[in-house]
Structure 1
Amino acid sequence: MSTAASFAPVDPTGAILGDEVYERLGDAILDGRLAPGERLRDVELATWLGVSRTPVREALQRLERIGLVEVAANRYTRVSSPSDAVRDDTHEFAALFLGNAVSLAVPRCSDEALADAVAIVDDIVEASRADDHGEIMAASARLFVLIVNATENVAFQRVMQEGDVAIRRNLGGWHPSIECPIERTTEYVAFREAVATRDGALAEATLRRIHGLR
């Protein structure tokens, strides 16, 4: 159960207020300060965050649209609990979205961005060798953000900006599609080579195999 002490007041002179409240509430859902099933009251949240009810209501509407909050009119607004089907659908979406982003970003990104991407894939390769699922996921999340930004495509970036928190929440407890660490690492090494040589089509195809998609 969350308390007022769980939230620092929002700085009204910083980012756009509605975006800041959205990020704060999303982060609280991700780290468990706002737990699945917890009732969300706009007056209470506004008091904790030191803002009016309007940006809180706007943030809750955005969180509802991406599935992190569920609303029953005149009954409740609460944090949702992702089902297995939602988790599976999110994994499929994230893998396909990242694959599309890779195919765009790898041929066109700067040398610096490419080097950063390869370095992150190296981290994924090492985590796969160690069969460290948590670190594979953490490094993959870093790669996701970098690659989407490197697409230089505003539509991709906006989808990522709005959906990032839902993707991260729904993929909690993720496990690799390829269970064998040797086979999985071989595929990640192939993915690294495709990224390093700017072969976007091959990188996308390899990523799909890694995630069990054809």
Structure 2
Amino acid sequence: MPVPSTQPAAERKLLRDTVQDKIRDAVMDGTLEPGERLNDDDLIAWLGVSRTPIREALAELARAGLIEMAPNRYTRVAAPTKDELLDAYRTLGVIYGGVVRLAVPRFSDAERERVLGVLDDVLARLDADQQAEVAREGADIYSMWADACGNASLAQLCRSTTDGLAFRLRVPELAELVPTDVVRPELVKLRDAVAAGEPIAAELAMEAIHLLPTRD
């Protein structure tokens, strides 16, 4: 019996992924605003593809938490609320505490310098009261840890969850619920632990940044 060709399925997957990336980027950079309705015909005209890869991409983005879908009612960009913020923020801390512990010993000198540069930039922007801007770039900041952790399963978990969790931090009450004067000292500890190559200290600092209970 001849083996069926899988080429058409591979092409559809590639197209869906391309569409998904474009919609994801438009959500994350604010081109598509929270709560904005998404119309299939408008998306078809924008992306130049058929309805099927668009619906597949939207379903994946809904699973990631960036899109909300109600059959026969609406498809829209998710709208974060302050009630979701702390749960999302602490979930990021649970995930990325372990990621940081794995990543820190694996950094090359060049990777370590890049991470230290990012952390210095975050500290400077917190000092300039730019916490909201930091939150808007949160998914990209988290990804640098996942990329270096060396654990494919954990990296995949990060890729599938981080966008939706980081997106939930984009609320006006962020500074109230995640005070800079609490986060900044722990961010300094994280930077120092990365510079010294101390994974456990880095893990504890990442957890403290995300307001997790301290360990005895």
Fold-level similarity (TM above 0.5)? yes
| Aligned twin of 1:201 | 200
Determine the C-alpha separation between the residues in 2 that align with 1:84 and 1:40: 23
Does the Cα contact within 8 Å between 1:191 and 1:206 map onto a contact in 2?
Answer: yes
Shift of 1:139: 6.9
Does the Cα contact within 8 Å between 1:82 and 1:170 map onto a contact in 2?
Answer: yes
* Equivalent of 2:122 in 116, 121, 124: 124
- From the superposition, tell whether residues 43 and 135 of structure 1 become closer, same or farther in structure 2 (CA, over 3 Å): closer
TM-score, normalised on structure 2?
0.78
Q: Within 5 Å, give how 1:35-50 maps onto structure 2.
A: 35-50=33-48
Give the aligned residue type for 1:77.
T
Determine the C-alpha separation between the residues in 2 that align with 1:212 and 1:195: 19
Gaps of 5+ in 1: 1-12
- From the superposition, tell whether residues 164 and 19 of structure 1 become closer, same or farther in structure 2 (CA, over 3 Å): farther
Gaps of 5+ in 2: 1-10
Shift of 1:114: 1.6
| Aligned twin of 2:49 | 51
> SS where residue 70 of structure 1 aligns?
strand
Does the Cα contact within 8 Å between 1:123 and 1:139 map onto a contact in 2?
Answer: no
Deviations 1:130-187 (A, max 9, x none): 443245446765441211101022123222333343234212143373443xx64433
Determine the C-alpha separation between the residues in 2 that align with 1:42 and 1:188: 43
- From the superposition, tell whether residues 198 and 39 of structure 1 become closer, same or farther in structure 2 (CA, over 3 Å): same
CA RMSD between the two structures: 2.6
- From the superposition, tell whether residues 31 and 105 of structure 1 become closer, same or farther in structure 2 (CA, over 3 Å): closer
Deviations 1:83-122 (A, max 9, x none): 3232222111122222211111001222221221122222
- From the superposition, tell whether residues 192 and 79 of structure 1 become closer, same or farther in structure 2 (CA, over 3 Å): closer
Give the aligned residue type for 2:95.
F
| Aligned twin of 1:190 | 189
- From the superposition, tell whether residues 24 and 126 of structure 1 become closer, same or farther in structure 2 (CA, over 3 Å): same
| Aligned twin of 1:177 | 178
Shift of 1:16: 2.5
Give the aligned residue type for 1:68.
L
Does the Cα contact within 8 Å between 2:138 and 2:166 map onto a contact in 1?
Answer: no
Determine the C-alpha separation between the residues in 1 that align with 2:137 and 2:52: 36
Q: Give the ranges of 4+ consecutive aligned residues of structure 1 lying more than 6 Å apart after TM superposition.
A: none
- From the superposition, tell whether residues 30 and 130 of structure 1 become closer, same or farther in structure 2 (CA, over 3 Å): closer
TM-score, normalised on structure 1?
0.79
| Aligned twin of 2:74 | 76
Q: Within 5 Å, give how 1:1-214 maps onto structure 2.
A: 16-134=14-132, 136-137=134-135, 141-173=139-171, 174-175=174-175, 177-180=178-181, 184-214=183-213
Determine the C-alpha separation between the residues in 2 that align with 1:184 and 1:144: 16
- From the superposition, tell whether residues 110 and 66 of structure 1 become closer, same or farther in structure 2 (CA, over 3 Å): same
- From the superposition, tell whether residues 79 and 123 of structure 1 become closer, same or farther in structure 2 (CA, over 3 Å): closer
Does the Cα contact within 8 Å between 2:126 and 2:180 map onto a contact in 1?
Answer: no
Give the % identical residues.
Answer: 35
Determine the C-alpha separation between the residues in 2 that align with 1:184 and 1:38: 32
For these two proteins, the number of residue pairs brought into alignment is 199
Determine the C-alpha separation between the residues in 1 that align with 2:136 and 2:62: 25
